[in-house]
Structure 1
Amino acid sequence: MSSHSTSSSSSQDPTWDLGDLTIHRIDEVALPPQTGPWLLPAATPDVVAQAPWLRPEFADDAGILRLSSHSFAFTADGLRVLVDTGIGNGKTRANPAWSNLNSDYLARLEAAGFPPHSIDLVILTHLHTDHVGWNTYADGAAWKPTFPNARYLTARTEWNYWATADMDESRQQMFRDSVHPIREAGLLDLVEIPAEGTDIAPGIRLIPTPGHTPGHLAVEVRGSTATALITGDCIHHPVQLLQPGIGSCVDIDPQQSAATRRHLLASLADTGTLLLGTHFPAPTGGLVQSDGDSYRLTPLLGAPEQHRP
């Protein structure tokens, strides 16, 4: 039987046990209620009402989506890994909910047993503002790597796209304070990710999930008793399990994004693989289960039982 442990409390970010490794959610900030209608405009209250399982955790009583910003940290075969780095503190951003943030993210990371100097690898699912912010911290007027002993990794396709994109000033600022300092410090690695994915370390596989951005990747983490998949932004919210065609207003290729989501969900459904959403509010993790001609997320904290064929 699966263990559905829910021992985590507000003072301790939740964890998921995959046997020989444990994935920690490192909270940054809950996103404001207006985020959902802006980000996923097709996910109206009428759509949310079609899936009672979305409430109360994933949507409020009015059908407004709940979303959050967090990272995931784990140790796999001795490698200490952080997936995505959130919005970051003290950075000027166009989105007022993200600008000059002052969160206790680093304290939470350390409390989970991952002080910044201990991180070996930072995996960036894509190069958007709310996924790269803690790459750096302010040291006077300079931005320094927060994880100085880590390699920062993203897809070469992702880097190549932004290297030639016509970016507005706010996005250029994000690259100046959160991406370029990492590259200038010699810490950025660009990885070729074939269609079938690629293993980068024991138990860690990068899966190409394009559409939201051209080089977007998801992270498969394999433990001794279970497997998890960290979404990044290929799935922003569980409502997209109900209707995989619901896209984000900032998807670069909406058609590709929807196709990626459909393929990914079909591959995960009823397998026992734990889905961990990078913007899913608590309880954040769950199992993808077939539900008529679509899917639903059954929340899970603790230790999922790996599907056996």
Structure 2
Amino acid sequence: MQPIKLGRITVHKVHEMDSPTPLLMQLPGVTAADLARLKRWYDPGDGELTDDPETSRMTFGVHSFVIEVDGQTILIDTCCGNHKDRSLPEVHQLNTDYLGNLARAGFAPEDIDLVMCTHLHFDHVGWNTRLDGGKWVPTFPNARYLFGRRDYAYFVENPKGEALHYEAFRDSILPVMEAGQGILVDEDHVAHREIGDGVWLEPAFGHSPGCCTVHAQAGGEAAIFWGDVIHHPLQMIRFDLPFAFDADAPQAGRTRQRVMAKAAEEDLLCFPAHFRKTSAGRVKVDGDAYRYEWVPE
């Protein structure tokens, strides 16, 4: 994605990795008819989608977004991180060039003023910290880190069934709090200026107990950074299906539908956490569901 300018805001994408998984492992219940409908407007052309759910894959783009606004540099979601012990083999002990990609976007870790995490799952907090002399330290030494209260209160208790995310909580959240750079905020917190002219959170509960969307507008088009409300374009057709990591699947489905309706009605420029291609785009009504129109490169 090339940088996108929206009034006083400039948005950059920082790529970490692409992560393919079997489709039905993440979205059980997808049918051949769902795939045929999706392929009317989305097919990456690399074999990810076949005509059969059993042989199709779901490939996640894993990336951050950087917002420049009014002299502030804000990083949204920090991906998986390097050198971290994870019980999921695909993300165990990664060694990606994320910081190199951040530099190529024009930023050093010291340039980041604020880190915002849409929620506290492992693939949204990992680069909060880096390994330095055998110790986890904040990657962005000059930044304040905003963490939602609900997710923090949930994960600090090491909840049953959340071992993967608790691993990330221990090495990517607690060291930031111990360094005095973490701030717990409500899920409707205004991070910069005011609603409608700044950067703010809105609750989007379901995927995690405290999942949020980040909104930004400053003298131009309105933008939404929806985190994991929608992982893959297929969920725009089947927003009713539970996703593998949803904490409250029925609530997550309702949230998906509400966010898509809002994005379509208000013509928001959308920045999904896991869509491939240019990632950025717009939600459009498509009969009884939705479709996505990517911003061209």
TM-score where L is the length of structure 2: 0.90
Counterpart for residue 256 of structure 1: 251
> Structure 1 stretch 71-80 or stretch 267-276: which is displaced more?
267-276
Which amino acid is 1:278 matched to? Answer: A
Shift of 1:111: 1.4
Counterpart of 1:55 (choices 12, 18, 43) is: 43
Note the alpha carbon deviations across 1:204-258, whole angstroms, 9 max, x for none: 0101000011111111111322111111111111211112212311111001101
Counterpart of 2:172 (choices 178, 182, 194) is: 178
Q: Hey, what's the Cα distance between the residues in 2 that align with 1:171 and 1:140?
A: 24
* The structure with more strand, counted as a fraction of residues: 2
The answer to whether 1:105 aligns with 2:92 is: no
In structure 2, do the counterparts of structure 1 residues 113 and 81 end up closer, same or farther at CA, with 3 Å as the change threshold?
A: same
Q: Hey, what's the Cα distance between the residues in 2 that align with 1:125 and 1:298?
A: 23
The answer to whether 1:199 aligns with 2:187 is: no
Q: Hey, what's the Cα distance between the residues in 1 that align with 2:253 and 2:66?
A: 27
Q: Hey, what's the Cα distance between the residues in 2 that align with 1:58 and 1:247?
A: 26
Which amino acid is 2:114 matched to? Answer: L
Kindly indicate whether the alpha-carbon contact (under 8 Å) linking 1:32 and 1:97 is maintained by their aligned counterparts in 2.
Answer: no
- Per the alignment, in what secondary structure is the counterpart of residue 153 of structure 2? helix
Kindly indicate whether the alpha-carbon contact (under 8 Å) linking 2:158 and 2:166 is maintained by their aligned counterparts in 1.
Answer: no
The answer to whether 1:136 aligns with 2:126 is: no
Kindly indicate whether the alpha-carbon contact (under 8 Å) linking 2:216 and 2:224 is maintained by their aligned counterparts in 1.
Answer: yes
> Structure 1 stretch 243-252 or stretch 72-81: which is displaced more?
243-252
In structure 2, do the counterparts of structure 1 residues 70 and 43 end up closer, same or farther at CA, with 3 Å as the change threshold?
A: farther
Which amino acid is 2:192 matched to? Answer: A
Q: Hey, what's the Cα distance between the residues in 1 that align with 2:231 and 2:223?
A: 16
Note the alpha carbon deviations across 1:53-93, whole angstroms, 9 max, x for none: 12126973414333111000011111110001000011111
Kindly indicate whether the alpha-carbon contact (under 8 Å) linking 1:204 and 1:220 is maintained by their aligned counterparts in 2.
Answer: yes
In structure 2, do the counterparts of structure 1 residues 77 and 42 end up closer, same or farther at CA, with 3 Å as the change threshold?
A: farther
- Per the alignment, in what secondary structure is the counterpart of residue 53 of structure 1? coil
Kindly indicate whether the alpha-carbon contact (under 8 Å) linking 1:59 and 1:65 is maintained by their aligned counterparts in 2.
Answer: no
Kindly indicate whether the alpha-carbon contact (under 8 Å) linking 1:241 and 1:294 is maintained by their aligned counterparts in 2.
Answer: yes
The answer to whether 1:39 aligns with 2:26 is: yes
Which amino acid is 2:60 matched to? Answer: L
Kindly indicate whether the alpha-carbon contact (under 8 Å) linking 1:88 and 1:101 is maintained by their aligned counterparts in 2.
Answer: yes
Note the alpha carbon deviations across 1:118-164, whole angstroms, 9 max, x for none: 10000011111111110111112111110011011021111111223
> Structure 1 stretch 132-141 or stretch 218-227: which is displaced more?
218-227
The answer to whether 1:280 aligns with 2:275 is: yes
The answer to whether 1:162 aligns with 2:159 is: no
Shift of 1:165: 4.1
Counterpart for residue 12 of structure 2: 24
Which amino acid is 1:289 matched to? Answer: K
- Per the alignment, in what secondary structure is the counterpart of residue 248 of structure 1? coil
- Per the alignment, in what secondary structure is the counterpart of residue 173 of structure 1? helix
Which amino acid is 1:177 matched to? Answer: D
Which amino acid is 1:50 matched to? Answer: R
The 5-angstrom pairing of residues 72-83 of structure 1 reads: 72-83=65-76
- Per the alignment, in what secondary structure is the counterpart of residue 125 of structure 1? coil
Counterpart for residue 146 of structure 1: 139
Q: Hey, what's the Cα distance between the residues in 1 that align with 2:202 and 2:45?
A: 28
TM-score where L is the length of structure 1: 0.87
Kindly indicate whether the alpha-carbon contact (under 8 Å) linking 1:22 and 1:74 is maintained by their aligned counterparts in 2.
Answer: yes
Q: Hey, what's the Cα distance between the residues in 2 that align with 1:25 and 1:88?
A: 16
Q: Hey, what's the Cα distance between the residues in 1 that align with 2:259 and 2:164?
A: 32
Which amino acid is 1:272 matched to? Answer: D
Greater RCO, CA 8 A, separation 6+: 1
Counterpart for residue 240 of structure 1: 235
Which amino acid is 2:251 matched to? Answer: Q
Aligned residue pairs: how many? 286
